[in-house]
Amino acid sequence: MIEKEIENILKEFASVEYVISDANAFFAKFEIMHLNQDMMNHIQSKLAPLGYKAVISNLSTKTENGAHADIVILKIFSANNGYHDNVRPYQFLPETKSRWTWLSHPSVNLVLFVFTFIVVFITGAATIINREITDEWSWITGFQFSFALLGILSAHEFGHYFAAKYHKLNVTLPYFLPGILIPPYLFTGFGGTTLMPGTFGAFIRIKSPILNKKQLMDVGVAGPIAGFVVCLIVLIYGFTTAPDRSYAYQFYDPQSIYTGEPFWHFGNSLLFSFLGNTLAGNRMPEMYDIIHYPFIFAGWFGLLVTALNLLPIGQLDGGHITYSLLGKRQKYVGYFAFVAILVMGLLNNNNNWLIWAILILVLIKIKHPPVMNDHEELDRTRQILGIVSIIIFILCFIPDPIYLRGYTK
């Protein structure tokens, strides 16, 4: 029946209330997050092979719990019969051109990447080995660190990018964010080494609406899995080629650890600990020394970024994945995760988690917004991918990423 075919078309991106026939036309009522001209063109292109056209008979907006949605009634009829009952095509207001459209030009992405590479390279060549920027650099260390770290971040972002392209979504190239070059004597880790990795990460922008949970899962899970695979390769190489522990002693006086003064440590995760102890054995560096090993430090940072992105909160990758699996029940997992972040920050006296909590409330949010078709369930393969991402999160998660502590036996 044609009603069922029309309903299946609309269910790709909307919550359909009914499709009924009336004389020579059909009327379909559905709810969608935001109806625009691009979406109407999409509907028309789906109806055209059936020999039908659509016009908007009624359009209204409802607000519920702060979320907005369009309630739409379409009149659908044979393309050969013209418009009926004097129903005119809905006239969408023309899109106003943003003054920020230049940000979508690929040259912007390239410039940001180059600047980020320079800062990360200098971080690897100078500051992570306790050198001032004006000192002689270790170019080999700089290239090792920058290729390893940016390789992980690039894999993550291009995972999202190609998944979005697969679903024909309008997506930008990755925007890399250069970090700040902080001389070691201003903000230091153990032995005077800067704690800054040289970048604040990267992101992409998806300009198209997400139509269903399948798209949301594919885009959400592709980044963390791709980045995790590259991170795993970097860590395996870093641990198998790690020199003896005494390698790090050239960057500071090892006797200084016995003074009783607290110094910076990097937190451990299940995967980092397992790989280090298995592959490096007694060459496994102390957690306050890993910053001096470019591949190991890049891999540690990659695990941290992966875990933070997989938190089941709002617009983070973990929020996308959890919403794909649980739908609107994601908010309960999000609230639990947010409370856990607050507890970790307070119990560990860690301001980093408290700052992260503020960012979640202000920018990321806890609840994930709905997709256009909220009722379509995931297939088994995508459910397994979601479970795999949860396992990756558990393996990568670092309860206390950076903290001050004195020497203990």
pLDDT band with cut points at 50, 70 and 90 for residue 1: confident
Mean pLDDT, the chain, whole residue set: 84
Q: pLDDT value at position 88?
A: 53
The answer to whether 217 and 324 have CB atoms below 8 angstroms apart is yes
Q: pLDDT value at position 55?
A: 85
Q: Residue 192 above 70 pLDDT?
A: no
pLDDT band with cut points at 50, 70 and 90 for residue 139: confident
Residue 336 CB partners (closer than 8 Å, separation 6+): none
Q: What percent of the chain is predicted at pLDDT more than 70?
A: 86
Q: What is the pLDDT of residues 207-250, one digit of tens each?
A: 777 878 999 999 999 999 999 999 999 999 999 999 998 888 88
Q: Residue 206 above 80 pLDDT?
A: yes
Q: pLDDT value at position 186?
A: 43
Residue 97 CB partners (closer than 8 Å, separation 6+): none
Q: Decide: pTM greater than 0.85.
A: no
Q: Residue 92 above 70 pLDDT?
A: no
Cα separations in angstroms, 297 against 197, 253, 386: 9, 20, 27
Query: Which is higher by pLDDT, 272 or 47?
Result: 272
Q: What is the pLDDT of residues 300-328, one digit of tens each?
A: 999 999 999 999 999 999 999 999 999 98
Q: Which of 130, 297, 323, 65 has the alpha carbon at shortest distance from 212? A: 323
Q: pLDDT value at position 67?
A: 64
Query: Which is higher by pLDDT, 149 or 57?
Result: 149
Q: pLDDT value at position 161?
A: 96
Cβ neighbours of 82 (radius 10 Å): 8
Task: Identify the sign of the CA torsion 132, 135, 138, 143.
Answer: positive
Q: Residue 187 above 50 pLDDT?
A: no
Query: Which is higher by pLDDT, 250 or 188?
Result: 250
Residue 135 CB partners (closer than 8 Å, separation 6+): 126
Residue 312 CB partners (closer than 8 Å, separation 6+): 318, 319, 321, 322, 330, 333, 334, 337
* DSSP conformation class of 104: G
CATH number for the region 2-78 comes to 3.10.28
Q: Residue 190 above 50 pLDDT?
A: no
Angle at 295 between CA 307 and CA 404, to 5 degrees: 60
Q: pLDDT value at position 35?
A: 81
Q: Per-domain residue ranges for the chain?
A: 2-78, 104-405
Q: Where are the alpha helices (DSSP H) in 172-277?
A: 213-240, 270-275
Q: What is the pLDDT of residues 320-354, one digit of tens each?
A: 999 999 998 999 999 999 999 999 988 877 788 88
Task: Give the whole-angstrom CA distance, residue 93 versus residue 73.
Answer: 19
Q: pLDDT value at position 86?
A: 47
Q: pLDDT value at position 301?
A: 95
Output 281-286 pairs: Cβ under 8 A, ≥24 positions apart. 282/245, 283/242, 283/243, 283/244, 283/245, 284/239, 284/242, 284/245, 285/242, 285/245, 285/247, 285/248, 286/245, 286/248
Q: pLDDT value at position 23?
A: 64
Query: Which is higher by pLDDT, 117 or 377?
Result: 117
How much is the average pLDDT of 191-220?
Answer: 80
Task: Give the whole-angstrom CA distance, residue 333 versus residue 313.
Answer: 8
Q: What is the pLDDT of residues 240-295, one digit of tens each?
A: 999 998 888 887 777 777 777 777 789 999 999 999 999 999 999 999 889 889 99
Q: What percent of the chain is predicted at pLDDT more than 90?
A: 42
